């Protein structure tokens, strides 16, 4: 008779586990006091996620923002969503835009990031906090905007600014006309947008790129005049939108020509510059984005060589002032990697238990509830266990990306069971038709 033995999964010691009592953003924050020593004097605390649109990720980030704001005086929340569109959300959390939160959620955040009740609660807390706070907390998008597929939001912001700052100047109307030919209003129409761009004649694409370069050069060269006619803040915002439009043009070129590696390099370098620009306005910021963007090590996507993410740029520039909280997940439902199913309204797909040997599996085997580990304070045995977990779930179906967690992160938070966030009906009612149609077919798990 043959006896088969199963090797038990690797696990961390109980001493490494820092339990989180709850993910409820409104709950008491005392169980997060261990963060005080860890944070130190960090200027940027980045919080990752395995995939977008999970309820638990929204709640974790909300709770950590509360703690860092109330206990440490952080003054800004910067999120992986469109920079130009984010001005609308910033105005709302600072008390403007009357009470139309649904419009802010639908239009002030991009790529479906705002269409969830948990994100609405996040913004509502910021507005309540700012109503009585001595130092209001600002909201910032860091991404290229336009669903990463349309120049129109950033370009229109630039043209509106130029109408004030340079009233005698008339931008070539062909720039906006060409950009309008491939204008995406949501991720659901982004594929058609890319197809429309791909069909443009090469000379039209080249003229668009040249026109954007000319606008960027004009804005840079006339800075002092423009600031005198408007304000320094208005100029900096418009110049940043101009940079995003120019970078997005290169990203769309890359995506339609198959050069996906340059797409990631260019996008992440630009969003790192945006974070650095926010730091010129705020001493300390909370940064929320996917693990692949915030990590200190190279990012890898299926079939691609490693690229340099935002986190590597920020670590190079900020050193110990950049603190990174990675996230792992156990079971539940995650953003659907099947594009056709996603477009048809099946936004989330079942997520099996993590792959053996992964960072997610190690974390999942070590404690039953949500918890954190401080990678800089592990015992030698626990550090070896983390070191031996060489891949991490990347939120792209069954894909696991290479990771050296001890280099990539300072803290890892594990969410043992994740679910889809709850759609917000008011925000959906103010969304484009194709978004409403896709969500009408969505059946929460």
3-state secondary structure the chain: CCCCCCCCCCCCCHHHCEECCCCCCCCCCHHHCCHHHHHCCCCEEEECCCCCCEHHHHHHHHHHHHHHHHHHCCCEEEEEEEHHHHHHHHHHHCCCCCCCHHHHHHHCCCCCCCCEHHHHHHHHHHHHHHHHCCCCCEEEEEECCHHHCCCHHHHHHHHHHHHHHCCCCCCCHHHHHHHHCCCCCCCCCHHHHHHHHHCCCHHHHHHHHHHHHHHHHHHHHCHHHHHHHCCHHHHHHHHHHHHHHHHHHHHHHHHHHCCHHHHHHHHHHHHHHHHHHHHCCCCCEEEECCHHHHCCCCECCCCCCCECCHHHHHHHHHHHHEEEEEEEEEEEEEECCCHHHHHCCCCEEEECCCCCCEHHHHHHHHCCCCEEEEHHHCCHHHHHHHHHCCEEEEEECCEEEECCHHHHCCEEEEEEEECECCECHHHHHCCCHHHHHHHHCCCCC
pLDDT of residue 320: 95
Q: Per-residue confidence at 1, pLDDT binned at 50, 70, 90?
A: very low
> What fold does the segment set 1-143+284-445 form as a domain?
EreA/ChaN-like  fold (3.40.1660)
| Per-residue pLDDT, 306 | 94
User: What mean pLDDT is reported for the chain?
Assistant: 95
Mean pLDDT within 38-53: 96
Is 288 a residue whose pLDDT tops 50? Answer: yes
Answer whether residue 126 shows pLDDT above 50. yes
- Average pLDDT on 255-265 reads 93
pLDDT class of 5 with cuts at 50, 70, 90: very low
Q: Is 2's pLDDT higher than 70?
A: no
Note the pLDDT of residue 7.
Answer: 57
Integer Cα distance of 74 and 60 in angstroms? 16
pLDDT digits (tens, 9 = 90+) for 377-430: 999 999 999 999 999 999 877 899 999 999 999 999 999 999 999 999 999 999
Dump pLDDT digits (tens) for 301-343: 888 899 999 999 999 999 999 999 999 999 999 999 888 898 8
pLDDT in tens, 79-125: 999 999 999 999 999 998 776 999 999 999 999 999 999 999 999 99
The pLDDT of residue 112 = 97
Is the pTM of the predicted complex or chain greater than 0.85?
Answer: yes
**Domain edges within the chain:** 1-143+284-445, 147-282
Q: Percentage of the chain surpassing pLDDT 90?
A: 92
Residue pLDDT, tens place only, 343-378: 888 999 999 999 999 999 999 999 999 999 999 999
Q: Rounded mean pLDDT of 207-224?
A: 98
Distance of CA 348 to the CA centre of its chain: 18
Quick one: pLDDT band at residue 4, thresholds 50, 70, 90?
Answer: very low
């Amino acid at each position: 008779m043959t006896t088969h033995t199963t090797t038990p999964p690797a696990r961390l010691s109980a001493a490494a586990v820092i339990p989180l009592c709850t993910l409820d953003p409104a709950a008491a924050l005392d169980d997060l006091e261990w963060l005080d020593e860890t944070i130190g004097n960090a200027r940027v605390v980045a919080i990752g996620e395995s995939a977008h649109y999970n309820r638990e990720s929204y709640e974790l980030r909300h709770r950590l923002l509360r703690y860092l704001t109330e206990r440490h005086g952080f003054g800004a929340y910067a999120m992986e969503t469109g920079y130009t569109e984010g001005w609308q959300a910033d105005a709302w959390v600072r008390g403007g835009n009357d009470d139309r939160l649904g419009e802010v959620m639908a239009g002030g955040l991009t790529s479906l990031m705002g269409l969830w009740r948990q994100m609405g609660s996040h913004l509502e807390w910021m507005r309540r906090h700012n109503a009585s706070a001595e130092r209001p907390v600002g909201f910032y998008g860091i991404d290229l905007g336009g669903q990463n597929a349309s120049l129109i939001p950033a370009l229109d912001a630039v043209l509106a600014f130029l109408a004030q700052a340079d009233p005698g100047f008339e931008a070539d109307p062909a720039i906006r006309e060409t950009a309008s030919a491939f204008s995406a209003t949501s991720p659901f129409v982004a594929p058609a947008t890319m197809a429309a761009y791909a069909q443009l004649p090469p000379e039209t694409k080249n003229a668009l790129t040249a026109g954007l370069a000319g606008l960027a050069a004009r804005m840079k060269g006339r800075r002092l005049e423009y600031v005198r006619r408007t304000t320094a803040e208005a100029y900096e915002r418009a110049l940043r939108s101009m940079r995003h439009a120019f970078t997005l043009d290169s990203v769309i070129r890359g995506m339609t020509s198959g050069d996906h590696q340059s797409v990631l390099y260019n996008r992440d370098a630009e969003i790192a510059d945006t974070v650095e620009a926010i730091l010129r306005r705020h001493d300390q910021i909370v940064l929320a984005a996917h693990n692949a963007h915030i990590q200190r090590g190279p990012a890898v996507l299926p079939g691609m060589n490693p690229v340099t993410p935002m986190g590597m740029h920020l670590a190079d520039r900020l050193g110990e002032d950049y603190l990174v909280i990675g996230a792992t997940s156990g079971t539940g439902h995650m953003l659907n990697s099947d594009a056709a199913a996603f477009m048809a309204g099946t936004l989330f797909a079942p997520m099996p238990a993590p792959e053996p040997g992964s960072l997610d599996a190690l974390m999942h085997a070590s404690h039953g509830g949500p918890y954190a580990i401080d990678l800089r304070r592990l015992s030698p045995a626990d550090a070896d266990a983390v070191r031996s977990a060489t891949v991490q779930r990347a939120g792209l179906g069954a894909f696991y990306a290479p990771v050296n967690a001890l280099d990539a992160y300072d803290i890892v938070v594990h969410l043992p069971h994740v679910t889809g966030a709850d759609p917000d009906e008011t925000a959906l009612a103010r969304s484009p038709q194709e978004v409403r149609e896709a969500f009408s077919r969505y059946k929460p798990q």
